[in-house]
Structure 1
Amino acid sequence: MRAIRIAGLGLVAFLLASCSGQTDVEGAARAAGTAGTTTAPAVPAATVAFAPSDQLSPKDPIVVKASGGTLQAVKVVNPQTGNSVAGDLSPDKTTWTSSDHLRYGATYQVVATAVNQAGMPTEQRGEVHTLKPAGVATPSLFQPASGDFGVGLVIGLKFDHDIADKATVEKSFKVTSSPEQDGGWYWVNKHEVHFRPKDYWKAGSTVKLETTTFGMPIGGGLYGGPDVSATYKVHDSWIAKADGKTHQITAYHNGQLVKTAPISMGKTADTPPRGPTPTFNGTHTVLAKVDHTIMDSCTYGVCEGDPGYYKAPENWDVRISNDGEFMHENLKTVGVQGSDNVSNGCLNMNTENAKWFFDNFNVGDVVEVTNSGGPQLAIDNGHGDWAISWSDWQAGSALRG
């Protein structure tokens, strides 16, 4: 039997019995009449249809249907990869539906066999073509796909293309939390979007993020890439409050004060050679920590041979911004910790206090900095999301514009 390529988006039936050697009913009846006997009419052959067959979204399934019989076998293969496509047969064996995600711009070869009520098989061959977009915008997670985080957890997505239709894309995101909490999306730029609740997450929350942009047109000829999902656990509440005026840091565990320590923040005086290096004001969150590292001023442009260059080992380092701000031990400033701000932006402590914060504060835990004399922490400088007011955060949603 020759292969037939399916065209069009509708359900196109292919009648396959016309050339399959069915009985000539009228001729048989005439012959039977001559002999004084009658013959029952032949059972019509089953027919098979594929729907749809052309420009199929890879998010939608390939559907194979049988009429006048049941499906005996269905095989769908992507000849470009050699991979078979899995599918499920309906209880009445008249419909087969693919269960795998398809690929963009692919041709799938379909071979289906149906049998009629008399058990006569009919085979149908054809092709199904998925749409080929101008480009595919693939999302990646702003945080790992799972993990244990503090109440300052910020989640989100980065796309590898700029998004033209942000509102459509945003509608396709789903964030659920247990217990339920009010939250919203904020577009950092044309390809990155963050989500946070109005207030810090409640301790013990479970937060789940899912995308459904795959196969979706998202503007500018782009379609969504493979979907991603993540589940986050929120541990106990750990919040530190660092005050540049009192030169003290206080720590709260589930709302209870558990630690007070003297600190030295970034200097605000125009001290050569670098000038003022104040700590950023606003809510920071812990990004990472390491028990020992080498801090090198060349990372911000003051390199060996320049005035003010340093390259020094530091212990109990808790990173709170991308701009090189840490809570850490600094024995050189112990004499002014609690009375003066002299650091290059970090929160300096003695060994005992630095070790305590290192042991107790983890990724997503909160460090609120006030009275530092510095500018507000920016959203792209770690997790400056919390430094944005809730009304401004809501205005950053594509659905509020």
Structure 2
Amino acid sequence: MQRRKVRLIPSRPIFAVLAVGAVVGLNACSPSGGAGSVPTKSPDPAPVVDITAAGGDQVNPTTPIEVSAHDGKLTSVTVTNPSGKQVQGAMAGDGSGWRTTEVLGYDTDYEVTATAAGKAGKTTTQHKTIHTLTPKAKAYPSLIPVPKSGNDVGVGQPIVVRFDHAIKNRAAAERAMQVTATPDQPGSWSWISNKEVHYRPKDYWKPGTQVSVKINLYGVDLGDGVYGETDRTLDFHVHDAWVAKADGNTEQMQIFHNGQFVRAMPISMGKDITPTHVGAHVISDKQQKYTMDSCTYGVCPGQPGYYRTDEFFAERISNDGEFVHENPASVAQQGSSNVSHGCINLDQDNAAWFFQNFGLGDVVEVTNSGGPPLPVWDTYGDWSLPWDKWKAGSALP
């Protein structure tokens, strides 16, 4: 039998196979390889700066602009208005944040630039424009008593806020208006109209009371696109209680100082066709000489009942033309009959004494005049409503 020749092929060196395996293993674990690679975080990332203000492109001007830094600390923040004036702000102690400390303006673009530095010296600067909301209208709150130094009023003085625009969201307005009385006394706001709200205590103010009023309406949404135009403050002191009690049956007016009777005066009140309103009146103005003109309430020259005359020691007790004042022409009727157009007439001596002792906020209570109650909307008919009805005029529970 012929033997078949077998060709021997040299095998590959074993070290080569191992080398290939080593390369394959290296590629599978390399962080720079393809699928399955694990990235590593840079040890010193660049800082991140965030600029925020709630409200999107309609930021409420009372909302602060806030700046924060991550992976670093803020080194500078500037906020400027269109005229280039910088807005004041405060930096957190660790440099992680910053926020404005003054209120902004309505309908204004503010340019914000903030820079932060990281640990390895890397810096990031961020820019952003913040736009504040644009009100449809701004409501200005005028105040009575008029804010001034040394305000001193009587125990019947209400706090009056009058707006130049109608207020739909009355509850929001009330929540923004704070009254603090020392000593503390129960009190409430009550709306006279959609543009006027008054505050009074349950009973007359206690003599010696200090009252502080804070009208924090700026930035407050008052409804229908109307926002508060500004904040205001008012402080006043309540002096001794001066209350006059005018009685149409006796034709006398008794004067009480801190509850003690001090004087009685003969008077003449409004005649039958122009009776004096009954109820508690509050003195809102006083003039040594005052021209009274019936045309101010619709009775003008040529019409029956027209008059125009100068009166002295005149103190207004309602906007319906009612005053306490001197009237020499009615001295004979004072103490016996009512002949005026609605005023309380006094002789010269009593009128001068009354003028010297009674002032803004003091009270004249009228009874038995034959007239209707003083309307709550008249200046100031606030005390004509009992306490429960007065409180019902508030927009808050």
TM-score of Structure 1 vs Structure 2, range by shorter chain? 0.7 to 0.9
Deviations 1:6-57 (A, max 9, x none): xxxxxxxxxxxxxxxxxxxxxxxxxxxxxxxxxxx77433322111262322
Secondary structure of the 1:398 match is: coil
Partner of 2:71: 68
The reply on whether 1:211 has 2:218 as its aligned counterpart is no
- TM-score w.r.t. the length of structure 1 is 0.83
Structure 1 residues 231 and 119: CA distance shift in structure 2, 3 A: farther
Alpha-carbon offset, residue 354 of structure 1: 0.2
1:250 aligned onto 2:247 = no
Cα drift, residue 301 of structure 1: 3.0
Distance of 1:177 and 1:358 partners within structure 2: 28
Match among 357, 374, 379 for residue 376 of structure 2: 379
Residues 297 and 216 (structure 1), Cα distance of their counterparts in 2 relative to 1, 3 Å cut: closer
Distance 2:295 2:196 in 1: 29
Looking at structure 2, the residues matched to 48 and 84 of structure 1 have their Cα atoms a distance apart, in angstroms, of 20
- Give the corresponding residue for 1:51: 52
Structure 1 residues 300, 211: CA separation in 2 closer, same or farther (over 3 Å shift)? closer
Superposed displacement of residue 120, structure 1: 4.8
Match of 1:18 in 2: none
Q: Is the contact between residue 172 and residue 220 of structure 2 (CA under 8 Å) also seen in structure 1? A: no
In 2, distance between residues paired with 1:156 and 1:347?
Answer: 25
Paired residues of 2:53 and 2:63 also in contact (CA < 8 A): no
* Cα deviation 1:95-114 (Å, max 9, x = unaligned): 22111111222211011222
- Find the aligned partners of 1:309 and 1:166 in 2 and give their Cα distance: 41
Give the counterpart of 2:158 among 142, 154, 161: 154
Q: Which stretch of structure 1 is more off in the superposition, 312-321 or 62-71?
A: 62-71
Q: Verify: 1:332 aligned to 2:334, yes or no.
A: no
Q: State yes or no: 1:77 paired with 2:80.
A: yes
How does 1:107-186 map onto structure 2 within 5 Å? 107-146=109-148, 147-186=151-190
Structure 2: segments with no counterpart, 5+ residues: 1-41
Distance 2:162 2:305 in 1: 37
Q: Distance in 2 between matches of 1:72 and 1:83?
A: 20
Following TM superposition, by how much is the alpha carbon of 1:121 offset from its aligned partner in structure 2, in angstroms? 4.3
1:200 aligns with 2:201: no
Matches within 5 A, 1:351-366: 351-366=348-363
Cα shift at 1:251 = 1.1
2:249 and 2:336 map into 1 onto residues whose CA distance is 9
In structure 1, give the amino acid aligned to 2:201. P
Structure 1 residue ranges (4+ consecutive) displaced by more than 6 angstroms after TM superposition: none
* Corresponding residue SS for 1:84: coil
Q: Number of aligned residue pairs: give it.
A: 352
Counterpart of 2:15 in structure 1 is none
2: CA distance between counterparts of 1:300 and 1:168?
36
- The superposition leaves residues 264-322 of structure 1 with CA deviations (integer Å, 9 ceiling, x where unpaired) of 00101xxxxxxx11111111111010111222233233333444333222111111111
Q: Give the alignment partner of residue 233 of structure 2, picking from 229, 235, 251.
A: 229
Residues 38-78 of structure 1: CA distance to partner in whole angstroms, max 9, x if unpaired? xxx77433322111262322111111122233222221112
CA distance in 2, matches of 1:131, 1:310: 53
Question: Relative to structure 1, is the Cα distance of residues 391 and 90 closer, same or farther in structure 2, using a 3 angstrom cutoff?
Answer: same
Aligned counterpart for 2:385 among listed residues 384, 388, 391: 388
The alignment partner of 2:156 has SS state of coil
Number of the residue aligned with 1:188: 192
Cα distance in 2 for residues equivalent to 1:393 and 1:103? 36
Aligned counterparts of 2:302 and 2:228: Cα–Cα separation in 1:
50
Change (3 A) 1:308 1:52: closer
Confirm whether residue 312 of structure 1 aligns to residue 309 of structure 2: yes
SS of the residue aligned with 1:335?
A: coil
- Asked whether the 8 Å contact 2:73–2:94 carries over to 1, the reply is yes
The partner residue of 1:287 within 275, 284, 288 is 284
CA–CA distance in 2 between the matches of 1:64 and 1:259? 69
Does residue 97 in structure 1 map to residue 99 in structure 2? yes
Deviations 1:341-395 (A, max 9, x none): 0011111001110000100001001111111111111122211001111121111
TM-score scaled to structure 2, two decimals?
0.83
* Separation in 2, partners of 1:306, 1:132: 51
Question: What secondary structure, in the 3-state scheme, does the structure 2 residue paired with 1:356 have?
Answer: helix
**Which residue of 1 is the match for residue 318 of structure 2?**
321
Provide the aligned C-alpha RMSD in A: 1.9
Alpha-carbon distance in structure 1 between the residues aligned to 2:166 and 2:389: 22
Cα distance in 2, alignment partners of residues 214 and 377 from structure 1: 34
Moved more, 385-394 or 50-59: 50-59
CA contact (8 A) 2:314 2:323 kept: yes
